Structure 1
Amino acid sequence: MSETGGPDVTQELRLPWDDDPEDLYEHAPCGYLTTLPDGTIVRVNETFLAWTGHTRAALIGHRRFRDLLTAGDKIYHETHYAPLLSMQNEVHEIALEVVREDGRRLPVLVNSVLERGAGGAPRLIRTMVFNATERRSYERELLAARREAEASEQRVRVLQRIVADLSAAPTEAEVAEAVVRAPEPAFAAASTSIYLVDVERDQLVAVASTDPTTGNWDDMPRSSPRAVAAVARRGDLHVIGSMAEAEEHFPDLAESMRRSGRQSVVLLPLTTGSGDDQAIAVLGVLAFSFREERSLSDGELRVIRLLGQQAGQALDRARLYDDARRREDRANFLARTTRSLEEEHRLLQRARRLVERVVPEIADWAAVRLQVGPAGLREDLGGPPPDPDLLAERVAEATSKTEPIFAADGDGLGCTVLPLTARGRVLGTLALRMAPDRRGAEAERMFLRDLADRAGLALENARLYEQERAIARTLQRSLLAADVPGGDPRFAMETFYQAAAQDLEVGGDWFDAFLITPNKLAVVVGDVVGRGIDAATTMGQLRSAIRALASAEHGPARLLEQLDRFCERVDSARMATVVYGEIDLLSSEFSYACAGHLPPLLHEPAGSPQYLLQARSAPIGSRAGDRRRTEHKVRLAAGSRLLLYTDGLVERRGRPIDRGFEILAREYARRRDAPLKGLTAGLADTMVGRDHGDDVCLLCLTLGTEERLERSIGADPLQISLLRADLRGWLVGHAVDQDCVNAVLLACSEAVANAIEHGYRDDPFGVVDVSATVSLDAVEVRVSDRGSWRGPGTDFARGRGLQLIEDSMDEVFFDRGEGTTVTMRRHRGGDPS
């Protein structure tokens, strides 16, 4: 009892330090090991033995601590654990795995202390072992959760990036490319494919895949029993987690998985619509697969469904954008094509332009066949063309029905045939082969019908234009002088008329030349204000009036005064411009007057061209300006060339007329030695070309016979005929007899042809010089070139050309220097034999 009378507490309680120390060691909540410095176990408690299943007898003295570790931990013990313990005399919380007696592994945490003797030598190692099984499980759970969070974060980042890409993708194709890239980084998918729904054709179209060589990746009807079609019809997510599940529900998918080595597949519908107030529409299916069997977590499924919704909304937006852009592009194409066709006025040119517009912008091949104009016209572009027999059948069908025959899958032709109609008449057909359009077939058909309507109207307008143009041309040419004087050795004349290229109406430009008396020649070029039938009629009246008023007594000034009085009765002739001249063929005197017209251009044998600027006054019937009519006379040397022309030759918008005069004088001088035949046409082609907006009228007159004919022609065989015409007129003007004329023409033509063929065979810019003189007893012609006669058979002496020349001429000489010169003589009135 205590001093207070209560129980003696010290007698009833046993303090912990009163416990048996050996029992505490043996049954401690952790394992104890005592080992020698080499690791041999010398003592172990019961707790460690219970954990590992080993017996005390099997361990003590027989096993080292590192012998109880796994292979990897043995290496760690040797390389880290033991060296660290030796250096620090202690180690703490080293994670190792001990191999139990039954072979299972026990995760442990180890604390060891190295005790040393008096001399510092290691004496023994005391080791405390804690069971880390639950801690390892907890760590694994934490690690798995962390990995799942990281994977979820990765999926969210991928989804955010894909959503950003989808928001920036304006077209359906770009949306599909963005969606098909999502499953591989987000879910570690092996391959991905995307199918889009074509509502008009009721099909699923394979549009993109990361590995199109694997699986069953092709188009299919939406009613197909295949897995992708089933998901598109039902609109719900399908996860096929194993081959057995695929074989049970979708045999086609199982076969595809077996060929590609895939073990699980996800089929995700791409949908739009909330489902609350609007129906959910399936726009496509995203299919992605895995190489191993895969079960998806709830988080992964939520992300996958969200991906399907975002992709569906992006597809819906892109389709609206694609449709709007396609309509805008088609409208722009129709507008551009209409404007382009209007630039051409001829039927054939419009047909060609139509084909050029269609290929390659909307088709890879197109052909126009016309039933009007030249028989059998066909203009096609692109390649290769379809089967001609089948195309002919479709053309006949479209023409008879006056309805388009649209291309259909598997029809063998692969192109659409459109009848081109206008005002109830079929003008022809337009056949074109286009890339198949996955969507918008009906809109595309409406576009093609609109194209055919516009093209038909454009071609009909061109046909009417050509018809009216032919009538107008016939009318205008009937009003022009058709029978200018010719055959007189005292002069030669060349005329040219070219109507405006961009105007249907006839114009008021005209030329005329006639003999007032046997020795007086009148030449005139004029231009009536305005266009159309009225201008052409007025032009005809002025032309007739000039012929009626011209006389040997009055002269040019008097004639213009009479034309002023003529305008009082014919008001439409007012402001017409006229240059009128009379040439005295005996005295070679030229008398002229200009009523508001451009000045004549004179080029004498010596010197440069000069404009005749005297005797100028106001246009015919003008009420302003200088109305006094004067005339001027100039004596023309033999061989002078006089050019009369209208303003269409020199006037251009955006260019001073003085510049036009300079160009004309330069081009006229350059042709001084060219044959008269073809001179006006060549001059107009150089000055105007084909794209001109005004009529062009020229009259070139060569007066008298040149004492010496000198011509230079290009190395073009077509120039020989022009030279022959010029040389013939010159010889006739010198009263050379006909036999001599024919012989000289033959020899000269052969010599020039050989110079072109052999001397300039590699030089299309070569020039052949021809000169001719006439004496009382002979004609001498010299043909010179500066070419190089190389190779066998190119020598005159060995060719047939020499034989022809020698048969025609009396004397033939050759001079070989820098080129070749052939000099030929023929006696007048003689016989070369």
Structure 2
Amino acid sequence: MSESGGPDVTQELRLPWDDDPEDLYEHAPCGYLTTLPDGTIVRVNETFLTWTGYARTDLIGHKRFRDLLTPGDQIFHETHYAPLLTMQGEVHEIALDVVRADRSRVPTLVNAVLESGPNGTPRIIRTMIFNATERRRYERELLGSRRAAESSEQRVRVLQQIVADLAAAPTEAEVAEAVIRAPEPAFQAASSSIFLVDPERDELVAVSSTDPTTGNWDDMPRSSTRAVAEVARRGDLHVIATVAEAEEHFPDLAESMRRSERKTVVLLPLTTGPAEEHGAVAVLGVLAFSFREERVLTDGELRVIRLLGQQAGQALDRARLYDEGRRREDRSSFLARTTRALDEQHRLLQRARRLVERVVPEIADWALVRLQVGPAGLVEYHGGPAPDPELLDARVAEAVETCAPVYAGDGDGLDCTVLPLTVRGRVIGTLALRMAPDRRGAGADRLFLVDLADRAALALENARLYEQERAIARTLQRSLLAADVPGADSRFALETHYQAAAQDLEVGGDWYDAFLITANKLAVVVGDVVGRGIDAATTMGQLRSAIRALATAENGPARLLEGLDRFCERVESARMATVVYAEIDLLSGELAYATAGHLPLLLHEPAGPPQYLMQARSAPLGSRAGDRRRVEDRIRLTGGSRLLLYTDGLIERRGRGLDRGFEILAREFSRLRDAPLKGLTAGLADILVGRDHGDDVCMLCLSLGTEERLERSIGADPVQISRLRADMRGWMAGHGIDPDCLNAVLLASSEAVANAIEHGYRDDPFGMVDVSATISADAVEVRVSDHGAWRGPGADLARGRGLQLIYESMDEVSFDQGEGTTVTMRRHRGAR
């Protein structure tokens, strides 16, 4: 007792129920081991033996502490535990797994102290071992919860990113691409495939797959018994955990799982708000993803998967609205562009071609236009390959008969739509096309195609009417032009040309005329009436008649224009018309001319450059302003001179001065100085105007005296020989060839041409024979050429029909056979 009477705490308290210290050691709540420095166990308590199932005799003196550890922990003991204990003298809470006698494991925490002798030499190691089974279980549960939380957080992040990607994806294709990328980072899926519902075709369309081995992911009807179609109909999430489960319910899916070595498959419907008719969700597609091992999905994962399906469905619904709006905008823009493009062409064939060029490849990869009007059997192909002709003909016939479109896939296996081109209830043709690959919007496309056909039909019908009216206008125009110009004459030759404006349906006011005032005086005139249409054509005819009435041997050009001014006082529509009028004395070669507001005549004599006759100019007919006097000028022409009368359409161009037009015309007229007169005016028009022009062109070219060189091309028809003979007769007579020489040349030339037709073009009625003739001071030379292949008995030139006549008529005869046959004949002037 202490001095205060209380218990003495400095003395050890001993309670009557205290255990023996040895018993406390043996039955302590932890295991005790005492080992030598090399780890040999020398003492062990009962608690450790109970945990491990060993007998005391199994351990003491027979086992080292490291022998009781797992292989991995033995290595750890060797590399970390023992060195640390030696350096520090103690270790605390080292986690080691002890192997029981039955080979099971006990997770433990080990504390150890190394005791040394007086000289510092290690003597024994005292080890305290705590059973960590419950702690390890708690740690595992804690770690599992942490991992689940981290996995859930990762899935949420992935889902947030997917939602962001879906919000940024405007089109259905981009939404599908974002959805198919989701399962791999969110759920560690091995592969994904996505199907979209096409309500118009009532089928599921396989859009994309990340696994090329899933070969059965293809389009299917929504009524199919396959797993994807079943999920689309029900709108429920399906998890097929094993191949055996798939074999029981979906054999097609089991086969795919075996082929791709997948163990678990998830089929997720992509849904949006409730469907109006069923009060349930509307399924817009199905996302299928799989795992390489059998996978049991947690409730949290299933919730995230369903949320993904809802988010993806809403994004798809929005994207489809966007796609539909953009599709309608694109189709409207296409129709507007196509209508403008067709309006740029005025001819039926051109519009048909332009229609096909617009359709392919923008909306179709193949197209064909057939017209029931205009050129029969018009067919325009673009793209390829073309459909089966028989099936296509049958479908075209059906569209024409029913006057209704026949769409692709309507029962006959032909992937081609045929649209009747209908105007006012009459089918004028058909448009057949194969739409470019597009899996959606078939109903909208049908409305678009009907609109396209209506516009195309109207454009083609307008082109047909345009051509019809244009042909009528051209016929009327040519009927109003002079058709009775003087024919062949040894003293002069005439060549005329009229070319109407390319896009104008109305007749114009340009005209020409040529007539003999007397036997030895020729009048030529070219004029242009203001305006277009029937009034201008009527005025043109009246002016031409007036000129013929006023042209007399006594009047002359100036007095004739004065008479036309008086005519304009009675015919108001003739006022301001322009005229260039000339009279040629065929005996003296004198030219008298006058110009009323018209472009000047262009004269090219045999020697020297061409020149414009700028004198004798006055105002247009009926002009009330300026000097009203009419003047004329006279000039003597030499034989071989050429005189060109023309209208402003030949040289006037926007953006180019008139002087430049005069310069070009003079240059080209000079370049063609030695060309045959026949075709000269048409050649000038081709060079200076072309075919696409906006104004009428009218020309008259007069050659004074006969041609220096005669050149003619005739068809392989014996009827043409008489016409050639008459032409040659007048030409040689104009050059003063004596009758004997003239008749001999005509006979030989006729026989040579007949031989060329008979033997060179026996089987070719479209062959051409070229004849050229020149006259020199002492001889006439004629060359007859063909491009045929001489065959049969007449192929031997020595026996050719009429060959003897040629030799007897001509002084020199030679033959050249290359690409065809050329006969050159020469006859000296004068009697033999």
TM (norm. structure 2) is 0.84
Kindly state the Cα deviation for residue 829 of structure 1 after the two structures are TM-superposed. Answer: 5.7
Q: Does the CA-based 8 Å contact 1:673-1:710 persist in structure 2?
A: no
Kindly state the Cα deviation for residue 781 of structure 1 after the two structures are TM-superposed. Answer: 8.4
Q: Counterpart in 1 of 2:763?
A: none
Kindly state the Cα deviation for residue 354 of structure 1 after the two structures are TM-superposed. Answer: 2.6
Q: State the Cα deviation string for residues 249-286 of structure 1 (Å, max 9, x = none).
A: 44443344334332222221211227999863221222
Q: Counterpart in 2 of 1:181?
A: 181
Q: Distance in 2 between matches of 1:745 and 1:661?
A: 43
Q: Counterpart in 1 of 2:230?
A: 230
Q: Counterpart in 1 of 2:144?
A: 144
In the TM superposition, what are the counterparts of 1:242-281 in structure 2 within 5 Å?
Answer: 242-273=242-273, 280-281=281-282
Q: Secondary structure at the match of 2:603?
A: strand
Q: Distance in 1 between matches of 2:71 and 2:570?
A: 130
Q: Aligned in 2, Cα 1:491/1:157: closer, same or farther, shift over 3 Å?
A: farther
Q: Distance in 1 between matches of 2:675 and 2:287?
A: 78
Q: Distance in 1 between matches of 2:447 and 2:551?
A: 66
Q: Counterpart in 2 of 1:101?
A: 101
Q: Secondary structure at the match of 1:372?
A: coil
Kindly state the Cα deviation for residue 478 of structure 1 after the two structures are TM-superposed. Answer: 0.7
Q: Distance in 1 between matches of 2:79 and 2:431?
A: 87
Q: Counterpart in 2 of 1:61?
A: 61
Q: State the Cα deviation string for residues 283-305 of structure 1 (Å, max 9, x = none).
A: 12222222222222222222212
Kindly state the Cα deviation for residue 810 of structure 1 after the two structures are TM-superposed. Answer: 4.8
Q: Counterpart in 2 of 1:574?
A: 575
Kindly state the Cα deviation for residue 502 of structure 1 after the two structures are TM-superposed. Answer: 1.0
**Residue identity opposite 2:183 in structure 1:** P
Q: Does the CA-based 8 Å contact 2:399-2:420 persist in structure 1?
A: yes
Q: Does the CA-based 8 Å contact 1:593-1:631 persist in structure 2?
A: yes
Q: Secondary structure at the match of 2:364?
A: coil
Q: Counterpart in 1 of 2:829?
A: 828
Q: Does the CA-based 8 Å contact 1:589-1:634 persist in structure 2?
A: yes
Q: Does the CA-based 8 Å contact 1:472-1:506 persist in structure 2?
A: yes
1:378 matched to 2:346:
no
Q: Distance in 2 between matches of 1:63 and 1:660?
A: 122
Q: Counterpart in 2 of 1:462?
A: 463
Q: Counterpart in 2 of 1:204?
A: 204
Q: Aligned in 2, Cα 1:33/1:645: closer, same or farther, shift over 3 Å?
A: farther
Between stretches 374-383 and 527-536, larger displacement belongs to 374-383
**Residue identity opposite 2:190 in structure 1:** A
Q: Aligned in 2, Cα 1:829/1:353: closer, same or farther, shift over 3 Å?
A: farther
Between stretches 548-557 and 269-278, larger displacement belongs to 269-278
Kindly state the Cα deviation for residue 568 of structure 1 after the two structures are TM-superposed. Answer: 0.9
Segments of structure 1 that go 5 or more residues without pairing to the other structure are 714-720, 752-769, 784-798, 815-821
Q: Counterpart in 2 of 1:624?
A: 625
**Residue identity opposite 2:241 in structure 1:** G
Q: Counterpart in 2 of 1:613?
A: 614
Q: State the Cα deviation string for residues 156-205 of structure 1 (Å, max 9, x = none).
A: 33323322322232222222222122112221222222222222333222
Q: Does the CA-based 8 Å contact 2:52-2:100 persist in structure 1?
A: yes
In the TM superposition, what are the counterparts of 1:300-339 in structure 2 within 5 Å?
Answer: 300-339=301-340
Q: Counterpart in 2 of 1:172?
A: 172
Q: Secondary structure at the match of 1:273?
A: strand
Kindly state the Cα deviation for residue 508 of structure 1 after the two structures are TM-superposed. Answer: 1.0
Q: Counterpart in 2 of 1:740?
A: 745
Percent of pairs with identical residues: 80
**Residue identity opposite 1:199 in structure 2:** P
TM-align CA RMSD: 4.2
Q: Distance in 2 between matches of 1:566 and 1:276?
A: 85
Q: State the Cα deviation string for residues 735-773 of structure 1 (Å, max 9, x = none).
A: 44254368689999999xxxxxxxxxxxxxxxxxx9986
Aligned residue pairs total 787
Q: Aligned in 2, Cα 1:158/1:612: closer, same or farther, shift over 3 Å?
A: farther
Kindly state the Cα deviation for residue 700 of structure 1 after the two structures are TM-superposed. Answer: 2.2
Q: State the Cα deviation string for residues 207-249 of structure 1 (Å, max 9, x = none).
A: 2222354164233333333332232223222222233433444
Q: Does the CA-based 8 Å contact 2:399-2:406 persist in structure 1?
A: yes
Kindly state the Cα deviation for residue 571 of structure 1 after the two structures are TM-superposed. Answer: 0.8
Q: Does the CA-based 8 Å contact 1:27-1:45 persist in structure 2?
A: yes
Q: Distance in 2 between matches of 1:340 and 1:283?
A: 39
Q: Aligned in 2, Cα 1:780/1:12: closer, same or farther, shift over 3 Å?
A: closer
In the TM superposition, what are the counterparts of 1:112-123 in structure 2 within 5 Å?
Answer: 112=112
Q: Does the CA-based 8 Å contact 1:744-1:809 persist in structure 2?
A: no
TM (norm. structure 1) is 0.84
Q: Aligned in 2, Cα 1:372/1:771: closer, same or farther, shift over 3 Å?
A: closer
Q: Distance in 2 between matches of 1:374 and 1:467?
A: 12
Between stretches 375-384 and 684-693, larger displacement belongs to 375-384
Q: Counterpart in 2 of 1:364?
A: 365
In the TM superposition, what are the counterparts of 1:502-513 in structure 2 within 5 Å?
Answer: 502-513=503-514
Q: State the Cα deviation string for residues 692-737 of structure 1 (Å, max 9, x = none).
A: 1111112222223476x599x9xxxxxxx9x999999865642442
Between stretches 574-583 and 195-204, larger displacement belongs to 195-204
Q: Aligned in 2, Cα 1:92/1:523: closer, same or farther, shift over 3 Å?
A: farther
Between stretches 33-42 and 693-702, larger displacement belongs to 33-42
Q: Aligned in 2, Cα 1:30/1:506: closer, same or farther, shift over 3 Å?
A: same
Q: State the Cα deviation string for residues 452-472 of structure 1 (Å, max 9, x = none).
A: 222222232222222222222
Q: Does the CA-based 8 Å contact 1:677-1:725 persist in structure 2?
A: no
Q: Does the CA-based 8 Å contact 2:274-2:282 persist in structure 1?
A: no
In the TM superposition, what are the counterparts of 1:794-809 in structure 2 within 5 Å?
Answer: none
**Residue identity opposite 2:518 in structure 1:** T
1:586 matched to 2:591:
no
Q: Does the CA-based 8 Å contact 2:86-2:114 persist in structure 1?
A: yes
Q: Counterpart in 1 of 2:541?
A: 540
Kindly state the Cα deviation for residue 37 of structure 1 after the two structures are TM-superposed. Answer: 4.3
Kindly state the Cα deviation for residue 353 of structure 1 after the two structures are TM-superposed. Answer: 2.7
Kindly state the Cα deviation for residue 382 of structure 1 after the two structures are TM-superposed. Answer: 3.1
Q: Does the CA-based 8 Å contact 1:731-1:741 persist in structure 2?
A: no
Q: Aligned in 2, Cα 1:6/1:154: closer, same or farther, shift over 3 Å?
A: closer
Kindly state the Cα deviation for residue 477 of structure 1 after the two structures are TM-superposed. Answer: 0.6
Q: Distance in 1 between matches of 2:733 and 2:140?
A: 120
**Residue identity opposite 1:106 in structure 2:** V
Q: Secondary structure at the match of 1:683?
A: helix
